[in-house]
Structures are given as C-alpha cells and as structure tokens.
Amino acid sequence: MAELAGKVVVITGASRGIGAAAAREFAAEGAKVGLLARDADAIAALAEETGGHAVACDVADPAAVAAALEAVEAAFGPVDVLINNAGMIDPIGHIAETDAEAWGRNIDVNLKGVFNGMRAVLPGMMARHSGTIITVSSGAAHNPLEGWSAYCAAKAGAAMLTRVAHVEAGPAGVRVMGLSPGTVATEMQVKIKASGINPVSRLDPNAHVPADWPAKALVWMFTADADAFRGQEIQLRDAAIRARLGLPA
C-alpha cells in the first residue's frame, strides 16, 4: 500500500489487542508508528519490533497526551493518522452498586481520552488540510447492556464526538470515521467472560474475531477506498465490509 509509506500513524492503547495488531499492520505497510499506552515495557518491545516510537502515556491526562504526540512528531514529523483505540471495560456491575470513582475513570479513558487525542492533533491536521482520525467504537455505543453503564455511556459519547469532529474538521480536509469491530478476542473478553453479566459474557469464545481483522480494517480506512464512509461508523460485522477487506463473511 504505497500511500501509507512514510506516513506517521499514532495508535493509543498500543500495548496489546487491537492496538498492537494495528501497529504491526501499519508498520508492515511502511508507516512510521507512534505507540502510546501506559505499559511502557510492552510498547517498548513493540517499538523494537516495528521500528516505532513508544511513549508511555495515560490518555486520560490531556497534558500527557499532548506531550506524547509532540514526542512522536519530534521523532517522525507531523501526525497523519490518529487511531483512538485505548479503552477499558471496568467497572462491570449494576449502576446501583457501582463505585463512582471507577465509573468516572472509565469515562476519563474511553471518552475523554478520545477528546484528548483529537484536541492534540486537530489544529495541525486542519492547518495542513489533511489527516485521518479513526475512533475504535463498539456495539455498546448504540445498544444498552446490563452491567456496562460506564462503557456504554462512554462509547456512545465517543461515537457522537467522532461525528462532531467530522462536522467541524471535515470541511478542512480531515477524514474522521469510526470502526465498530464487533467482539474481538482480546484480554477485555476474558474480563467480560468472567463477569457472567449480560449475553456478551456468555458468547462462545469462537465467536470473537482475531485482533488482526480490525487492524486490517483500520489500515483500509486510511485509503481513498473508504472515503465514502467519512463521518460514519463502519461495522466490521457487515459482510460487505469484510468482503472488501478479503475477510471471511
């Protein structure tokens, strides 16, 4: 994919799961990957593997996100692509019994973390009239699920924030989209399974797609072939989308 060669791609939550898989996919296409996550050791190892630049960072901290992106730009140049991937499922539990601080932490990561990334890159992207921002969404953004009040609320907010970013930055040439990957075989699914709450926890593990499927989708979303989906949320469950990616239906 020649159009990705030399492009600077920043991925939050890059230490594992979809984020790590995406880093490998983008690097394989010749992109320079900036790796952001709290797990410094994991992203350092991934940077060694991919030739990327790792910056330990909590996406809930706006100053830390801004500093991390400045560090990536100092190493590689202006950010061409931001993948808002960092996320957490905790706390799982009923609203009446959930710890307020834990609930707020979920919002800080899953919603404010998306804002913090956008806030850091949008001025430069809009000034250059180019750039791509992709938010990793979830079916939980659109469907209420027992025990997931924080996750559903945060993902719903992030989905709307992504649409607002498209309205504001799209006219300046910035491509903004969301990706709902479905259930993915990551560490998050282990926590969900252990909770025993709501139908998702009772899914057969074989129903979950591998992390490299959404990673391939994220790479494709950078290309002009995905331009028709600007401002929208792409559903990886959609058989037509999978066919475009060469994935099983």
Active site residues: 151
59 close to 109: Cβ distance less than 8 angstroms? yes
How many H-runs (helices) and E-runs (strands) does the chain carry?
Answer: 9, 7
Instruction: Give, for 32, the enclosing helix (H) or strand (E).
Output: strand 32-37
> In angstroms, what CA-CA distances link 65 with 35, 39, 72?
12, 14, 11
CA distances from 78 to 102, 123, 128 (A): 35, 11, 10
Instruction: Give φ, ψ of 193 to 5 degrees.
Output: -60, -45
C-alpha to C-alpha distance for 65 and 49, rounded to whole angstroms: 23
| Residue 247: both structure tokens together | 């994935």
Query: What residues pair up with 32 in beta bridges, in sequence order?
Result: 8
- Cα 200 to chain center, whole Å? 20
* Sheet with 32-37, edge to edge strand ranges: 53-56, 32-37, 8-12, 81-84, 132-136, 175-180, 233-235
Contact 20, 40 (CB under 8 A): no
What's the CA gap between 246 and 115, in Å, rounded?
32
